[in-house]
C-alpha cells in the first residue's frame, strides 16, 4: 500500500471488504430474519434512551430504525467554536439503538439531497465486512438498508467510515453513536444475580479538532469540504480543542443536568468512538462496570474510575446514596475542566450523615 494514494488504499480496502461481505453469503444461506416479528423503534435524542424492556418479552425480533444524516453547523463551545457537524438524526452523538441479543437490527440509512458528502455506517455490534460500512454507502439523495444480527450482548459504537481520511474526519465531526444489546434475560451482577436499572442515560463523548485563524479565533467555514483541510491539520497533532459530552460544552450541566433520585440505580452508557476516556463520577462510584461494554462476563465492582477504550462504549451502574449535584467527568481533569468533558447528575433525596457530614464549617483557625 506504500505507493498508493490515500484514496486508492481506501478503494482497495473497500473492494476487499465487499468481497469479504459477499463471500460468506454464497455458503451460509438466507437470513433467518424473514419469519420474525418486525418492530419499529422510535429513536430519541441523547442523553435519553428509547423505550425498551430490560428482559426480552418474547422471541427475537427485527428492530427497524431509521437514521437520517444531517450536515449542519453546530456550536460546540461558548468560545465561539462551531463545526460542520455530521450527525445521525441531527444529534452528536447519534441516537442510542436498543436491542436484545439475537434480535436483528434493520437500519435504513438516509442521506438527504441537501447534504454534500457520501456517508455510511459501521456497526461494531455487527459481524461482517466493515461492520456494514461497505453495504451502506449513500450519496446525497440516496438511502440504503442494512440488516445485521445482534449476536453479542454489550454496548457498541457505530460510526461513519466512508474510507481513508474521510473516516476520522467524519467521526470527529460527530458522526457516531451507540447500540445497547441487552442479554435476553437482562443484566446480571458480579455474582450472576439479575440486576435492573431505574434509569439509563447515554453519554456520547466527542473530541473536536477545530481550526483557528491567525487571530486565534475559531474559523467559520461555508461548507464541510471547505473546513476539511484545516481540520485534518489540527487532527494530525492529536490534540483536541474540545472534548465534550452530548455535542457541546455544558450540554449536560446546569439546567441540562441528568436527574435521578437517591436509591435509584442508574445505568450510564458512555461512548467514545475515537479516543480513550476514563469516566469518573465525583462523589460516587461504579457499583458495576462492564469492561469493554461486554455483558457476557461478570462486571467489575466498586470502581473509582473506569476505562473506555477509544472505539467503544462502556456500561456502568450506580445506585445513588446521597442527594446533590454530582459532576461526571473524564478524569483527565484538563479535559474535564478546560475542554468541556463534564456532565452533571442532579440527585434528589435525603442526606445521609452516616456517609458524610461536615463536622465543622470553615472558620478562622483558632
Residues that bind Cu ion in the complex, under the rule CB under 5 A: 86, 119, 160, 170, 175
Q: How far apart are CA 269 and CA 314, in angstroms?
A: 6
| 51 catalytic per annotation | no
Cβ nearer to Cu ion, comparing 10 with 86: 86
Secondary structure letter of residue 38 according to DSSP: E
Backbone angles phi, psi at 169, to 5 degrees: -65, -45
Closest distance of CB 272 from Cu ion, Å? 11
| 166 catalytic per annotation | no
Active-site residue, selected from the candidate residues 175, 228, 231, 235 = 175
| 304 catalytic per annotation | yes
| 242 catalytic per annotation | no
Closest distance of CB 311 from Cu ion, Å? 5
Closest distance of CB 160 from Cu ion, Å? 3
Active-site residue, selected from the candidate residues 100, 137, 159, 270 = 159
In sequence order, which residues have a C-beta less than 8 Å from that of residue 284 and are 6 or more positions away?
318, 320, 321, 326
| 170 catalytic per annotation | yes
Cβ nearer to Cu ion, comparing 175 with 281: 175
| 124 catalytic per annotation | yes
Active-site residue, selected from the candidate residues 100, 242, 270, 280 = 280
Cβ nearer to Cu ion, comparing 125 with 258: 125
3 and 12 Cβ atoms separated by less than 8 Å: no
**Count, residues in the chain:** 366
Count Cβ atoms within 10 A of the Cβ of residue 294 and give its class: 0-12 exposed, 13-18 middle, 19 or more buried.
Answer: middle
Active-site residue, selected from the candidate residues 160, 166, 228, 231 = 160
**If DSSP states are collapsed to H, E and C, what string results for 24-61?**
HHHHHCCCCCCCCCEEECCCCCCCCCCCCCCCCCCCCC
Residue 299, C-alpha cell as written in the block: 462486571
| 305 catalytic per annotation | yes
Range list of H helices, 237-323:
none
Closest distance of CB 325 from Cu ion, Å? 34
Cβ nearer to Cu ion, comparing 170 with 285: 170
Give me the active site residues, please.
119, 122, 124, 159-160, 170, 175, 280, 304-305, 331
Amino acid at each position: 500500500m506504500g505507493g498508493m494514494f490515500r484514496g486508492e488504499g481506501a478503494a482497495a480496502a473497500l473492494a476487499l471488504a465487499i468481497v469479504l461481505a459477499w463471500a460468506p453469503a454464497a455458503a451460509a444461506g438466507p437470513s433467518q430474519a424473514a419469519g420474525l416479528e418486525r418492530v419499529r423503534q422510535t429513536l430519541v435524542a441523547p442523553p435519553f434512551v428509547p423505550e425498551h424492556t430490560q428482559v426480552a418479552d418474547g422471541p427475537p425480533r427485527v428492530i427497524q430504525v431509521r437514521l437520517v444524516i444531517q450536515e449542519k453547523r453546530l456550536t460546540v463551545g461558548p468560545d465561539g467554536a462551531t463545526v460542520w457537524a455530521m450527525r445521525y438524526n441531527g444529534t452528536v452523538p447519534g441516537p442510542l439503538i436498543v436491542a436484545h441479543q439475537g434480535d436483528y437490527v434493520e437500519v435504513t440509512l438516509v442521506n438527504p439531497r441537501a447534504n454534500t458528502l457520501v456517508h455510511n455506517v459501521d456497526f461494531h455490534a455487527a459481524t461482517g465486512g466493515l461492520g456494514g460500512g461497505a453495504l451502506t454507502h449513500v450519496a446525497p439523495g440516496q438511502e440504503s438498508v442494512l440488516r445485521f444480527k445482534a449476536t453479542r450482548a454489550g454496548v457498541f459504537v457505530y460510526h461513519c467510515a466512508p474510507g481513508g481520511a474521510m473516516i476520522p474526519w467524519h467521526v470527529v465531526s460527530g458522526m457516531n453513536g451507540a447500540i445497547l444489546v441487552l442479554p435476553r434475560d437482562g443484566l446480571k451482577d458480579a455474582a450472576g444475580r439479575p440486576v435492573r436499572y431505574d434509569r439509563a442515560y447515554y453519554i456520547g463523548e466527542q473530541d473536536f479538532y477545530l481550526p483557528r485563524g491567525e487571530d486565534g479565533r475559531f474559523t467559520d467555514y461555508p461548507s464541510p469540504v471547505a473546513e476539511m483541510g484545516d481540520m485534518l491539520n489540527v487532527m494530525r497533532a492529536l490534540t483536541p480543542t474540545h472534548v465534550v459530552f452530548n455535542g457541546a460544552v455544558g450540554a449536560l450541566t446546569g439546567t441540562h443536568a441528568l436527574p435521578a433520585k437517591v436509591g435509584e440505580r442508574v445505568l450510564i452508557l458512555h461512548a467514545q468512538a475515537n479516543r480513550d476516556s476514563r469516566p469518573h463520577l465525583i462523589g460516587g462510584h461504579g457499583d458495576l462496570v462492564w469492561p469493554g461494554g461486554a455483558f457476557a462476563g461478570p462486571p467489575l465492582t466498586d470502581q473509582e474510575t473506569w476505562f473506555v477504550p477509544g472505539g467503544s462504549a462502556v456500561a456502568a451502574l450506580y445506585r445513588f446514596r446521597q442527594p446533590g449535584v454530582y459532576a461526571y467527568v473524564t478524569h483527565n481533569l484538563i479535559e474535564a475542566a478546560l475542554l468541556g468533558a463534564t456532565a452533571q447528575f442532579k440527585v434528589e433525596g435525603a442526606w445521609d450523615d452516616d456517609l458524610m457530614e461536615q463536622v465543622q464549617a470553615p472558620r478562622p483557625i483558632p
